[in-house]
Structure 1
Amino acid sequence: MTRLLHLILALPLVAGHTAFAAPCQFESQGDGRVAAIVDARGVRLDDGREVRLDDGREVRLAGIEPTATTKQALTSLLTGRDVTLRGTDDTPDRYGRQGALIFVGESEAPIQATLLAQGDALVSAEIADKDCAAALMAAETEARRQKKGNWADPSAIKNAESPDDILAGIGRFMVVEGKVLSVRQAGAMTYLNFGRNWTRGFAVTISKRTQPALENAGITLKSLENRRIRVRGWVEGNSGPRIDVRLAGQVELLGANEPTGVRP
């Protein structure tokens, strides 16, 4: 697993004859020892060697969303281990948790990449750095290709043509695939409709302020019509399920003949 993970993370590192640092190597935000796994998203550090954290400070794993097996995997991987926190912003969230990528010992890969490679987590798309985001997505893609962990379940990726299945997961983070049948704008909001019945079918909503980020990533909304895409995010809605796209990494373009659940 370690060798495979390093190969995955090494993919974006070479361009021509120039060597680059490993992705996700952001500024250190402190270090410590993992005293407890709080939940599937957080750990508690408790060690006198902490640099910028108070003892007992909770840390939220940035860049991923948990699955049913994440907490168990974290317990195995992190309990009692000395770790370094890295990230671009150490401002606590509203729950007082610091978001960070977590590195064990001298590893060049964050524990988030390990969880993704094992199929024990989903990419959240919150990491803005392109190289780091690509490395995390590559780890998830390989697990999905090999049907590891979460991806062994055929229902791990929802079909956009089955809105009731998606609506059943309201309030949860989901990955959905399907063909965009129409792109419609209403005021400052653009709707990607996956069903003929706009009120009951699955749809993706994208605000006007999010469009520049998508365009910078090479995605123009009108061009998505009749294209197959994979979208990830929190499911909301009443009569019909919705996912609100706020980050470019939430949308992936799929090939016309690409098998469901796999991306080359």
Structure 2
Amino acid sequence: MVLKLARNAISPGHVTQRLHLIVAFLVAAGHAACATPCQFETQGEGRVAAIVDARSVRLDDGREVRLTGIEATATTRQALTSLLAGRDVILRSADDMPDRYGRQGALVFIGESDISVQATLLAQGDALVSAEITDKNCAAALMSSEAEARRQKKGSWADPSAIKNAESPDDILSGIGRFMVVEGKVLSVRQAGAVTYLNFGRNWTHGFAATISKRNLPAFENAGMTLKSLENRRIRVRGWVEGTTGPRIDVLRVGQVELLGANEPAGVRP
């Protein structure tokens, strides 16, 4: 009697419905698997014939490719050589428009790997996120790779001075012309003409500041980041250091600024 009831409980219609649900689940899972960050349109492929510099390679067909999304550290070129010399690669990006030097900017993938060379370099601590990639998912994935290396103090992050202290402007100014990561508390937010200053020191002339042009403000507003709200907040800023008396970083993209928790240890935010 129990067996008979069990058989009657599962009708052919119920079986068909369950099969449809299983198929739908597998299809959805397949789509999720394909939604790997940074999987932009393929813009070509080739074999790496030479490492030009810490962020550029030359393919066997003569094309020069610049690795987008990262800035170099002291170990980037050596790591890039180990990863890419003589390897077959696939180039992915939103477009294949060359830069003013004729280089094709792209995320580089070795063979059929779904992990970019940029993500690998970041995870090893052999590069810094440049914040130039605007796709949110891809940018977040690259930042996550860097954060993991930072937590584990890999590569360049093993050096305590890898992240500069905003309260030591002379230390930052010594790296003028270099790409740096700086952390500190924003003491004031001031606007002068078409530029907003995030001041990290009381002496506006000599203290470190991040500058944001008025034309870039809409991007921050669209991201839900009001600059005035950054006052008295700890943030991390990345970019090229410039200035004469006081060091400056010109913030061109929202991704150059990260909010930090009030009690968070320096250099460990994911």
Question: Under a length normalisation based on structure 1, what TM-score does the superposition of the two structures give?
Answer: 0.89
Q: Which one of 167, 170, 178 corresponds to residue 173 of structure 2?
A: 167
Q: Please state if 1:36 is matched with 2:76.
A: no
Query: 1:127 aligns to what?
Result: 133
> Residues of 1 paired with 2:117 and 2:147: CA distance?
16
> Residues of 2 paired with 1:91 and 1:39: CA distance?
20
Q: Which one of 246, 252, 256 corresponds to residue 250 of structure 1?
A: 256
For 2:260, the aligned partner's letter is L
Query: 1:157 aligns to what?
Result: 163
- Give the fraction of aligned pairs with identical amino acids, expressed as a percent: 83
Q: Which one of 245, 265, 268 corresponds to residue 239 of structure 1?
A: 245
Query: 1:67 aligns to what?
Result: 73
SS of aligned partner of 2:176 = coil
Query: 1:51 aligns to what?
Result: none
Question: Under a length normalisation based on structure 2, what TM-score does the superposition of the two structures give?
Answer: 0.87
Q: Which one of 79, 100, 118 corresponds to residue 94 of structure 1?
A: 100
Q: Give CA-to-partner distance per residue, 1:98-156, whole Å, 9 cap, x none.
A: 11000001111110000000000000000010000000000000000000001000000
> Residues of 1 paired with 2:246 and 2:53: CA distance?
31
CA shift at 1:217, angstroms? 2.1
For 2:68, the aligned partner's letter is A
For 2:112, the aligned partner's letter is E
SS of aligned partner of 1:80 = coil
Deviates more, 1:153-162 or 1:89-98: 89-98
CA shift at 1:213, angstroms? 1.1
> Residues of 2 paired with 1:260 and 1:218: CA distance?
24
For 1:31, the aligned partner's letter is E
CA shift at 1:39, angstroms? 0.6
SS of aligned partner of 1:184 = strand
CA shift at 1:89, angstroms? 2.3
SS of aligned partner of 1:38 = strand
Query: 1:194 aligns to what?
Result: 200
**Gap runs ≥5 in structure 2:** 1-27
Q: Give CA-to-partner distance per residue, 1:152-202, whole Å, 9 cap, x none.
A: 000000000000000000000000000000000111110000000000000
> Residues of 1 paired with 2:86 and 2:147: CA distance?
29
Query: 2:221 aligns to what?
Result: 215
For 1:66, the aligned partner's letter is A
> Residues of 2 paired with 1:100 and 1:163: CA distance?
34
Q: Please state if 1:24 is matched with 2:38.
A: yes
CA shift at 1:56, angstroms? 1.1
> How many equivalent residue pairs?
241
CA shift at 1:216, angstroms? 2.0
Q: Give CA-to-partner distance per residue, 1:191-247, whole Å, 9 cap, x none.
A: 000000000000000011111111222211000000000000000000000000000
RMSD: 1.2
Q: Which one of 170, 180, 183 corresponds to residue 177 of structure 1?
A: 183
> Residues of 2 paired with 1:94 and 1:149: CA distance?
31
Q: Please state if 1:118 is matched with 2:124.
A: yes
SS of aligned partner of 1:234 = strand
Q: Which has the larger radius of gyration?
A: 2
Where does structure 1 differ by over 4 angstroms across 4 or more consecutive aligned residues?
none
Q: Give CA-to-partner distance per residue, 1:72-121, whole Å, 9 cap, x none.
A: 00110000110000001211111111110000011111100000000000
> Residues of 2 paired with 1:21 and 1:106: CA distance?
15
For 2:181, the aligned partner's letter is V
Query: 2:211 aligns to what?
Result: 205
